[in-house]
């Protein structure tokens, strides 16, 4: 009864903004001034939200219960992330990731350098699930090659970012790809399949533009000084064979055949372990260590060692704890009605599906601008709009797609965002300089907005149920 009264009495928009403003200030000083990770500023903001909730008449027990319920929603993503850490470790150990990088680097040709750079980064990012790892390793090599060819570095950086974030967005190994459907209430592989509608056209158009730009630089020769050490380091450390491409192909098949994420990924871990024995001749001890602590590369080639050191269950614990901190903040904001008060203010201007998608995109970008972190952009926007999409009969995978189209892809274009700051430091190109050339990141939200206003690919909840019934009937027959 008390909960109902609280909900009806509500929290004002002004009260709801207090924790948000505190969060912005805490993140700014925590990340930019003190070099801290977002975890503590988020927890501090959760405390402020709790105090506002108590002032509004909510009991701590109510808010704590909401925190636990909200964390429960994210537990599938947490479990998947833990398995993904194991998957990356065993895939590196088995030689699967090195094989993808080895063959990817060899497709470079002068006349298609920008296209190749985009595709290589996409390939590496899909295989690792990390735009940061891709940019910090292969991206650096490609920057050196582009500089040698005399191609303006902002254009090269734009191609690298486009490819890296294509993989980051589409790979089931990516934490943002797992976090988005968890926030929206969608299934992981449903989410990935639904993103094809916006991400593939964005990539194709981007590649065409890079191809046109690249014609200007096609007659120049590529120095192999940067690439050769990487290829030699990979071939010396690992037994490279096309058979090691089977695990990623398996993951693609899992997406196509709608196998549930957890058992499918666990199968990938098992296959990585088996391939480690067959192709790299390692034992059970090395497989267990790689799955738990990650793989440590010791080739002596710095770029290779940086690229291939990572993965493991432990590597995901920071992201898992960040999710738990964000869910604590989101649980209080949701229970006290503060998220509803903020979204109601925004949604007062959103009367159609198109304007709803526009509001979601702008909210995600604004969260990246003010909160400085793509995870918070996804979490805050997802929690704010989840019920609204449901009330309007829109399938959760529509929301999860928009969260990535805007939240994930706008993050590297903002200099003070954690992603933008990393890209700037790694590539040596300011985000404002490469942003105009990161065509995939620019096009993706626009295509998403086009679908919102036209209704194309915007799946209704009842349509999904009808499709499931048809599929079930055909299976029975």
pLDDT tens for each residue of 105-130 = 776 766 788 999 999 999 888 877 88
Taking 60 as the threshold, does the pLDDT of residue 412 lie above it? yes
**Least confident segment among 272-281, 329-338, 428-437:** 329-338
pLDDT score of 432 more than 60: yes
Identify the CA nearest to 182 among candidates 62, 326, 315: 326
How distant, in Å, are the alpha carbons of 17, 53, 357, 363, 396 from that of 12?
Answer: 9, 11, 24, 19, 27
Q: Quick one: average pLDDT of 172-194? A: 90
Task: Please report the pLDDT score of residue 7 as a whole number.
Answer: 42
Angle ∠(293,299,302) on CA atoms, nearest 5: 90
What is the pTM (predicted TM-score) of this model? 0.69
Per-residue model confidence as pLDDT tens digits over 23-58:
889 888 887 788 888 889 889 999 999 999 999 999
Q: pLDDT digits over 324-376, tens only?
A: 888 888 888 878 988 778 878 877 877 889 999 999 999 999 888 766 678 87
Whether residue 4 has pLDDT greater than 50: no
Closest CA to 426 of 263, 418, 73, 5: 418
Return d(Cα 131, Cα 113) in angstroms, integer.
19
Q: What is the pLDDT of residue 24?
A: 85
CA distance 191 to 211: 30
The more confident residue out of 394 and 226 is: 394
Are 176 and 377 spatial neighbours (Cβ–Cβ below 8 Å)? no
Q: What pLDDT score does 307 carry?
A: 73
Distance CA 427, CA 440 (A): 18
Helix, strand, coil in percent for the chain, rounding step 5? 80, 0, 20
- Confidence category of residue 218, pLDDT binned at 50, 70, 90: low
Token pair of 179 as six digits:
């976090």
188 pLDDT more than 80: yes
Q: Please, which pLDDT band fits residue 196 given cuts at 50, 70 and 90?
A: very high
pLDDT score recorded for residue 474: 47
Provide the percentage of residues in the chain whose pLDDT is more than 90: 39
DSSP state letters, 350-396: --SHHHHHHHHHHHHHHHHHHH--HHHHHHHHHHHHHHHHHHTTB-H
Of the pLDDT bands very low, low, confident and very high (cuts 50, 70, 90), residue 476 is very low
Distance CA 193, CA 21 (A): 36
For the ranges 16-30, 243-257, 260-274, the lowest mean pLDDT is seen at: 243-257
Average pLDDT over residues 297-322: 83
Q: Give me the count of residues in the chain.
A: 477
Q: Which of 83-92, 315-324, 349-358, 440-449 has the lowest mean pLDDT?
A: 315-324
- What pLDDT does residue 250 have? 82
Phi, psi of 310 (to 5 degrees): 165, -170
User: Tokens 């609280």 map to which residue?
Assistant: 6
444: closest CA among 477, 395, 411? 411
- Average of per-residue pLDDT values in the chain: 85
Q: What is the largest CA-CA distance in the chain?
A: 75
Residue 469: per-residue pLDDT = 47
Q: Which residues contact 398 (CB under 8 A, 6 or more apart)?
A: 194, 357, 389, 458, 459
pLDDT at position 465 is 55
Q: Which residue has the higher pLDDT, 35 or 403?
A: 403
Strands of 73-208 (E only): list them.
none
The model's confidence at residue 76, banded by pLDDT at 50, 70 and 90, is confident
Q: Please say whether the beta carbons of 403 and 381 come within 8 A.
A: yes
């Amino acid at each position: 009864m008390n909960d109902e009264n609280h909900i009806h009495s509500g929290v004002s928009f002004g009260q709801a903004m207090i924790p948000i403003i505190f969060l912005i200030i805490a993140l700014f000083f925590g990340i930019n001034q003190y070099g801290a990770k977002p975890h503590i500023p988020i927890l501090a903001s959760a405390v402020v939200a709790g105090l506002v909730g108590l002032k509004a008449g909510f009991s701590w027990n109510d808010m704590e219960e909401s925190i636990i319920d909200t964390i429960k929603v994210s537990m599938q993503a947490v479990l998947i992330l833990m398995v993904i850490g194991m998957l990356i470790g065993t895939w590196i150990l088995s030689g699967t990731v090195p094989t993808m990088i080895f063959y990817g680097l060899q497709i470079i040709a002068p006349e298609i350098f920008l296209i190749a750079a985009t595709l290589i980064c996409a390939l590496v990012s899909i295989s690792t699930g990390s735009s940061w790892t891709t940019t910090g390793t292969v991206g650096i090599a490609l920057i050196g090659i582009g500089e040698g060819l005399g191609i303006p570095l902002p254009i090269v950086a734009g191609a690298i970012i486009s490819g890296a974030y294509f993989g980051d967005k589409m790979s089931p190994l990516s934490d943002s790809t797992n976090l988005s459907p968890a926030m929206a209430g969608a299934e992981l592989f449903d989410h990935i399949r639904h993103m094809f509608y916006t991400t593939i056209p964005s990539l194709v158009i981007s590649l065409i533009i890079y191809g046109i730009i690249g014609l200007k630089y096609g007659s120049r020769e590529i120095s192999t000084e940067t690439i050769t050490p990487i290829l030699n380091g990979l071939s010396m450390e690992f037994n490279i064979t096309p058979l090691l491409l089977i695990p990623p192909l398996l993951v693609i098949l899992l997406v196509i055949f709608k196998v549930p994420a957890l058992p499918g990924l666990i199968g990938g871990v098992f296959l990585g372990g088996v391939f480690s024995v067959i192709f790299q001749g390692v034992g059970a001890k090395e497989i267990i260590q790689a799955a738990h602590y990650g793989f440590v590369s010791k080739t002596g080639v710095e770029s290779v060692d940086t690229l291939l050191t990572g993965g493991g269950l432990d590597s995901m614990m920071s992201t898992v704890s960040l999710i738990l901190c964000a869910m604590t903040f989101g649980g209080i904001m949701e229970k006290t009605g503060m998220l509803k008060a903020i979204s109601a203010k925004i949604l007062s201007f959103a009367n159609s599906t198109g304007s709803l998608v526009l509001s979601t995109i702008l909210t995600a970008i604004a969260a990246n601008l003010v909160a400085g972190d793509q995870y918070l952009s996804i979490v805050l926007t997802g929690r704010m709009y989840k019920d609204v999409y449901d009330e309007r009969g829109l399938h959760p995978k529509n929301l999860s797609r928009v969260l990535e189209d805007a939240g994930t892809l706008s993050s590297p274009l903002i200099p003070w965002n954690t992603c933008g700051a990393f890209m700037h430091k790694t590539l040596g190109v300011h985000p404002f300089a490469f942003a105009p050339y990161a065509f995939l990141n620019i096009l993706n939200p626009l295509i998403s907005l086009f679908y919102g206003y036209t209704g194309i690919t915007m799946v209704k909840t009842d349509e999904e149920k009808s499709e499931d019934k048809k599929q079930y009937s055909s299976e029975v027959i």
